[in-house]
Amino acid sequence: MRGDMPAVEAKDTIAAATTQLVAALHPATGFGDWVSVASLRQVMHALPTAIYTTDTAGRITFFNAAAVELWGCTPKLGSSEFCGSWKLFWPDGTPLPHDECPMAMALKQQRPITGMEVVAERPDGTRVLFLAHPTPLFDDAGLLIGAVNMLLDVSERASQRLASIVESSDDAIISKDTSGIIRTWNTGAERVFGYTAEEAIGQPVTMLIPTDRLDEEPEILQRIMRGERIDHYETVRQRKNGELIDISITVSPLRNAAGRVVGASKIARDITDRKRAEAHREMLLGEMKHRVKNTLAMVQAFANQTLRSVPKEERETFGGRLRALAGAYELLTSETWNRAQMRRVVEQALEPFPVQRIVVEGPDCAVNAANASHLTLALHELATNAVKYGALSNAEGRVHIDWLPEGQSHVRLTWRESGGPAVPPPERKGFGSTLIELVLENVRLEYAPGGVVCAMSVPLDK
């Protein structure tokens, strides 16, 4: 083999030659020349690539020295099945049962599996990433007689790839020992904190922590020593120039071959811009909330002045509608302004009424700002009428409100009264009924003997 042969071509050549050699080693081939078999075994053991064979049931019938080195243990011929490793995992860390590994797949499906990534854990706790190349073997009659597998250790390549990712990351990625001394420092850490690797490595990580937050580090270390992982912990750290920055950190324990925690890996993301944007958004929402309140109060004052000759009951009804609308905006500004949870909208709209006699049920879902306002006004009208004429006008009446999915974009909300006096249909449609029909879709209003029932379709916020 030429010394300048590309790595991929060399591996393919080894794979092809190895498959032919191992096929001759399998007992079912009837290869009876002991000298030739012994020679082939010597060749197989001398190969730097892990090779092993199994019978049709997946029991290991041969393995070479490179396979033992990769696995970190020696399987038992004739009893160990599918793979000689102690434990197997998928690359994402999910456990992989031996009877579901690539060799088991190749035997079950009777087809080669090429280059599947698998992680083997050795008894000492170390892990190795390898590519599996199991190939089924058949006799002259085409019957399955077993399989051969070649395992290529790509841990070093994976480590180099990981190192490249760490070094090119915009996030600060550092490691420290159990004493809190910095051991590694990537270019992202230089950008975030302002220290070079030469300045940071060997220094205590507390040099990044403001004096009023120094108590955070012992607590973090204690959790890491217990093997815990800390996800997206938001805090404040200090740059080389003294500037304080908001960061989100994730801390994971680092273990040695014996599984003992020997340090921690930290990923720190600068979230200063996000925090500033959130603060600016809160300021704008506060200003908007203040202006909406002032506007509604001004409308209320104008109404009181303009409607002085209107009966008191009508003025109070108008005022109640304004207060309901103000409550809807109050709810929106306390959440995200553009959407609100359905349950919160319903409960907010009914807050001025005897809520102990109102049952609210329905799945979690959200409505946008416009529909939250419309629903609030509709519920306010229904509750006001229930207090005047319906179920809430006596001591026994009850109201039940529920909503259920109606397709993927709407819910069907139903207002159902019971226990109150019979309410006859009005002779003419009032403002409340008109308002409900204007602001919501597919409204059905019934004056049933048991009480008023109103069903309406409410669009959801997706």
pLDDT at 22 over 70: no
pLDDT score of 120: 92
pLDDT score of 181: 93
- The model's confidence at residue 302, banded by pLDDT at 50, 70 and 90, is low
173-192: b (≥16 Cβ within 10 Å) or e: bbbbeeebebbbbbbbbbeb
pLDDT at 195 over 90: yes
pLDDT at 457 over 60: yes
pLDDT at 176 over 80: yes
| CA pair distance 350, 333, nearest whole angstrom | 18
pLDDT score of 84: 94
Q: Would you give the DSSP letter of residue 389?
A: T
pLDDT score of 8: 42
pLDDT at 40 over 60: yes
Q: Which of 140-149, 171-180, 327-336, 370-379 has the lowest mean pLDDT?
A: 327-336
Q: What number is the average pLDDT over the span 82-106?
A: 92
**Could you tell me the two tokens for 175?**
């490691």
C-alpha 345, offset from chain centre = 28
pLDDT score of 326: 66
Q: What number is the average pLDDT over the span 406-419?
A: 91
**Which domains does the chain possess?**
7-158 (3.30.450.20), 169-270 (3.30.450.20), 274-459 (3.30.565.10)
User: In whole angstroms, how far apart are CA 457 and each of 340, 404, 405?
Assistant: 17, 10, 10
Average pLDDT, the chain: 81
- The model's confidence at residue 378, banded by pLDDT at 50, 70 and 90, is confident
Residue 344's identity, in one-letter code, is R
Q: What number is the average pLDDT over the span 179-200?
A: 92
Beta-carbon contacts of 271 under 8 Å, excluding residues fewer than 6 positions away, are: 234, 246, 247, 248
Which neighbouring-strand residues pair with 454?
A: 415, 445
Strands (E), 356-450: 358-361, 366-368, 398-406, 410-418, 441-448
- The model's confidence at residue 299, banded by pLDDT at 50, 70 and 90, is low
User: Would you say how long the chain is, in residues?
Assistant: 462
| CA pair distance 200, 239, nearest whole angstrom | 12
User: In whole angstroms, how far apart are CA 51 and each of 15, 41, 46, 63, 83?
Assistant: 10, 11, 10, 6, 11
**222 Ramachandran zone, left/alpha/beta (phi>0; psi -120 to 50):** alpha
Q: What number is the average pLDDT over the span 56-84?
A: 93
pLDDT at 391 over 70: yes
pLDDT score of 16: 45
Cβ(14)–Cβ(5) below 8 Å: no
**Could you tell me the two tokens for 111?**
């087809």
pLDDT score of 5: 36
Q: What number is the average pLDDT over the span 68-78?
A: 92
User: In whole angstroms, how far apart are CA 362 and each of 69, 90, 403?
Assistant: 60, 41, 5
- The model's confidence at residue 104, banded by pLDDT at 50, 70 and 90, is very high
- The model's confidence at residue 17, banded by pLDDT at 50, 70 and 90, is very low
Strands 144-153, 50-54: parallel, antiparallel or unpaired by DSSP? antiparallel
Which tops the pLDDT comparison, 377 or 10? 377
Cβ(56)–Cβ(145) below 8 Å: yes
Tens digits of per-residue pLDDT, 263-273?
898 999 999 88
Q: What number is the average pLDDT over the span 408-432?
A: 84
Cβ(92)–Cβ(117) below 8 Å: no
pLDDT at 3 over 70: no
Q: What number is the average pLDDT over the span 275-286?
A: 76
Which tops the pLDDT comparison, 9 or 249? 249
pLDDT score of 315: 64
Tens digits of per-residue pLDDT, 204-231?
999 999 999 999 999 999 998 988 888 8
| CA pair distance 280, 41, nearest whole angstrom | 73
Q: What is the pTM of this model?
A: 0.44
